[in-house]
Structure formats: C-alpha cells, structure tokens
Chains A and B, each alone.
Chain A
Amino acid sequence: MQYCTLRNGRASAGKEQAVSYKKLGKRIQHAREEAGLSQEQLAAILGCSQPTLSNYEKGKSRIYLTQLQKVSEILNRPVQYFLEAMEPSEEERGQAYAAEISRSYLEEASSQMDKDILSILKILQELSPEARRTVYEFAQWEYHKSRRYGNNG
C-alpha cells in the first residue's frame, strides 16, 4: 500500500517527477540534435507523430520505458545517459540536505528538550509558512495572556 504522505514538504513530489521528465526530455532533444536529426525524422523512425516527440522533449508527455529504449538505440546512447538527467541538481540536493540537517538537529536536541516542545517543533517543520505564522501569532497571544494573568489565566 503506497500511502504517500506529505512529509517534509513532499507534496511537491509530483512536480519533482514532472521536473525529472522535463530534464529527461531536454536530454533527448540534445542527443537528437547532436545526431543531426530533426524532430520529424526521429519521430518517423520511432513511429510516433512529431507533436508527440515534441511533447516528450518538453516534458509535456511522459515518455515510457519501451519508447526510451528505442530512442537510446536510434541515438546510439545508453538508456542510462537519459535516466541520469532525472537526478536532482546540486541546488535541489542542497535543499534536501538542509532539510535533513534540520531533522538531524531536532533528533539530536530531543535528548535535551522537553518532549512537548520537540513535538511542536516537528509539527512546525511540516507546516507551510502561512500556517507557521498562524501558530506563531497564537503562541504570542498565549504568551502575553500568561504574562498578564499568570499561567492559569
């Protein structure tokens, strides 16, 4: 059961998949141009229409594995050459690394921190900036209330 959760901002995973297919498409375009073929020529060899190939190259349609294998044979490149394009860029990796560091920090801090505070921080990490702002405003309101009336106020 692939319960796909929205952890760590992963709601964007569909977009990441789409970005991967766009990068793959660009690599097909690059390899096609290096081979000196037009879209019409490659499409004819592949047995698809020129607009279909154009959509593959733009990432507007997903090229499927069997079709990619044909492309790799025609353009004389290993399938792996195209698949490597789907890897995240250094910048994307950097963002993922920052998120990982922040998770590690929380895990490290867990031994020294009140469990309730830790839970709140973990939840905050999952929220959108707008939702974090709402939580912050509520926390401020609670803070001022407790200052004015004491903790039972």
Chain B
Amino acid sequence: MVNFALNNNQQSLIKSIRLLAPQLAQKEMEIDQHRSEAFDCSLVNELAKLNLLNPMVPPEFGGRGLNYFDYALLMEEIGAVSPGLAAVMIFNCHFISILDSIGTEEQKAQYLPVFTQQQPKLAAMALSEKNAGSDAGNMSTLAVKKNDHYLISGIKEYVTNGTNADYIVCFATLDPTRARSQMLALLVPGNAPGIRQGQLRKTMGIRYAHCTELIFDNVSVPAANLLGEEGNGYMIITQAIDRDKVLTGAIGVGIARAAFDMALAFAKDRKQFGRTIYENQAIAFELSKMAAQIEAARMVVWKASWLLDNNEDFTVAASIAKITGTTTAEEVVSKAMDIVGGRAYLEGHPLEKLYRDVKIFSNLEGTNHIQNAIITSLL
C-alpha cells in the first residue's frame, strides 16, 4: 500500500529543481539583501517555464496535475533553496486548490488555464484582518449583495502576493454578527476598481514574498465570481488551510535539509586541533540527531500528503506534519549555525538568511499552537 521508492516522474521532478537550485538560491539571496519594494518576477518566471509555479492545476486545464505527495516533494526542494519563493507558491496553491475543489466548471475553465502560462500569474488570499487572524469567524469585511454584484468593503492584513496578485480570493461576510455562517469567498481580479494597496510590510525573512495590507473600498464583484455558495466561506477557508499546511511542513523539511547539508560539509572540511571537527563526537552526534529529525519530519509530511491524496481523514496528520516540519526546520537551522560558528552569523551567509526565513513558517497556515489545539481536540 505504501511505497517509499520514488517513481521516475517524481525523480525527474526533483532533478528539474535541483538543476535550477544554484540560480534560485543566488537570486533570492540578492533580493533578500536589496529589499526591493518592486516584486522581482525572475524566480516565479523560472518555475512558470517548467509549468511548476502552479503545479496542481489539472491536466485538462493545461497544468501538471500534481497530487499532494508530489507537490510536497517539490516544496521540499523549493524550500531548500528559496523559502521566499516557496511562500509565494503556497498562496497560489490556496487559490488553485479552492477553485479546483469548489469552483464551478465555468469558473475553472475561465481561471485555471491562465495559471499554467509561461507568463506567470500570481494569486493572493485576503483573509486576515486586525481582529480576525486565527479566528476567521471574527471577520468584519462586509459583502453587500446588490442585484447581480457584491460590494466588498474592509481592510485585509498580511496579504502575501498582495502587491502583484492577478487574482485574489477575498473572504467577506454578509453579516458580521454571524460571520461563520454568513461568510463567502469571492474571486476578485487584483486590478478591480476600489482595491488599494496599504502598507507594504517589512519582514525579517522570506523577503521575496511581498506582504501587504489591502483595502477594499466598495469593490464591485460579479455574483458569478462567488466560490461555492453564500455562507460556505468559513468551511472553504478552514479546509483549504487544513489541506495546504502539509506543504508548509514540506518547506520546513527542505529548509532543515539545506541547513544540515551546509553544517555537514563544513564539519567534514573544517580542521581544528589537527582533525576535522566532524571527528569530534559532540559534533558528529549532533549531526546524526539532525539527520534523524529531518527524516522523521519528512515521513510525517509524506504520510499526511498520502492520506490527502487517498481521501482518508488527514486533519490530525496534516497538523502533525506542519508542526514537525516547521519545528524541525527551526531546530536544525539553529544547530547548523552552532556547528558552522561565527561566520554563519554574518550578514549574507546562507545560514544567516535561513535563520531569519525559517521563523515565519511556524506561524503560517495557523500557528503551531493552533495546530496543537486542533490535534488535542481530535484525539
């Protein structure tokens, strides 16, 4: 039933990213250092050329049709070289997975093919608000139905890809006093009149992914752009995050692997007191523990994605994968810095960047505290 040997397609997928890896890593490092306010399309362009920017788009709409297992393999590779790009992809993934799971045939036919073209299209999810983060049911962005349109008004916080999204899934409520049962999800073009970009957030890490405030000022959206039905929004968002957080765990595995590889190579090369530091048991055992942690995290990510692909109950497994992948990443990056020593603390060192990048992944897709609460409630 379970096979740990990757097939030829999966190996080719991994190889295609490893060929690009040096280029992606270098470019993301440059972007990280320069903190440009303009979004640099070069990284997403590279993936779009391989039709891997939005790899879940089904083949009938021109996509690769990757399942969650293969997508997790891909995200481990991207996470290892370019965590900012991985974060950009996660928010595209939300859009695609929502559209693919509950969109009408007309909506799918209209929007999914544009996400497979070589001119990359980006998507964003406008959910969080000042008083609605983990508690999406506390939302106040209002949708008012007027004839065959909805008018949306509200301020959304922390919108990744918000500066340059071609399409946005915006969550709003018809009645803020009953937001959970009156929430709806609307597909909004990024250039719709009335959408204004607020403050661009300066972040500690994953600087490739632009995160901004978006203001919806009486934005008119055709009723045909409603995803699912009125009132479905709360389930749509909690369930999209439930599915896609497996990929955040996979990114964590990739980050941990990159840090481990750097520490191992350094330990085998660096000589002190007449021998490599790897020959010191204290260092070697630390590396062995890191290797074990990474393998364990990879296995829970694989299990959760397998459950997803096989329509099994995945909620607990997905939370475990997310927690394990991201905490492993934080711990392994920190240990790798200890092994590499002072030079890893210098600005521009890949481990220094990973140390800043890794932190956000324990918060993305529901904090790890929330994941613990979800697990305990279902035990």
Contact = CB atoms under 8 A, between A and B. Distances in A.
Given A1-B360, A2-B128, A55-B313, A83 B370 contact: no
Contacts of A10: 133-135
B136 to A, nearest CB: 8
Contacts of B236: 65
A80 B181 CA distance: 7
A137 interface: no
A15 B369 CA distance: 10
Contact of B159 (A1, A65, A68, A83): A1
A12 B373 CA distance: 7
Interface in B235-257: 235-236, 238-239, 241-242
Contacts of B369: 6, 11, 14
B372 interface: yes
Interface class of chain B by DSSP:
helix
A123 interface: no
Q: In this complex, which of B229, B235, B238 has the most chain A Cβ atoms within 10 angstroms of its Cβ?
A: B235
A7 B134 CA distance: 9
A60 interface: yes
Given A2-B364, A4-B363, A4-B367, A17 B232 contact: no
Given A10-B133, A79-B232, A86 B181 contact: yes
Given A14-B374, A65-B102, A87-B181, A5 B133 contact: yes
B9 interface: no
Contact of A13 (B209, B232, B373): B373
A65 B363 CA distance: 25
A39 interface: no
Given A14-B377, A16-B135, A68 B128 contact: no
Contact of A3 (B101, B238, B315, B364): B364
A64 interface: yes
A30 B229 CA distance: 23
B363 A3 contact: yes
Interface class of chain A by DSSP:
helix
A62 B180 contact: no
Q: In this complex, which of B87, B230, B373, B376 has the most chain A Cβ atoms within 10 angstroms of its Cβ?
A: B373
B239 A62 contact: yes
Contact of B377 (A5, A18, A87): A18
Interface string B171-183: 0000000101100
B54 interface: no
Interface in B175-219: 178, 180-181, 209, 211
Interface string B10-42: 000000000000000000000000000000000
A91 B159 CA distance: 32
Contact of A1 (B87, B239, B315): B87
A96 to B, nearest CB: 8
B191 to A, nearest CB: 21
B interface, size bucket: 35 or more
B353 to A, nearest CB: 18
A interface, size bucket: 35 or more
A84 interface: yes
Nearest to B232: A65
A141 to B, nearest CB: 31
Contacts of B234: 20, 83, 86
A62 B374 CA distance: 11
B58 interface: no
Contacts of A125: none
B137 interface: yes
B103 interface: no
Contacts of B101: 65-66
Given A3-B360, A83-B235, A61 B315 contact: yes
Contacts of A13: 133-135, 370, 373
A17 B235 CA distance: 10
A2 B234 CA distance: 15
Contact of A65 (B181, B228, B372): B228
24 contacts: A1-B87, A3-B360, A4-B133, A4-B363, A4-B367, A6-B369, A10-B134, A13-B133, A13-B373, A14-B372, A14-B373, A18-B377, A20-B137, A20-B180, A60-B378, A61-B315, A65-B102, A66-B101, A66-B102, A80-B231, A83-B180, A83-B181, A86-B180, A87-B178
Interface of B: 87, 91, 101-102, 125, 127-128, 131, 133-135, 137-138, 158-160, 178, 180-181, 209, 211, 228-232, 234-236, 238-239, 241-242, 313, 315, 360, 363-367, 369-374, 376-378
Closest 8 CB pairs of A and B: A14-B373, A18-B377, A13-B134, A4-B134, A1-B160, A14-B370, A83-B181, A14-B374
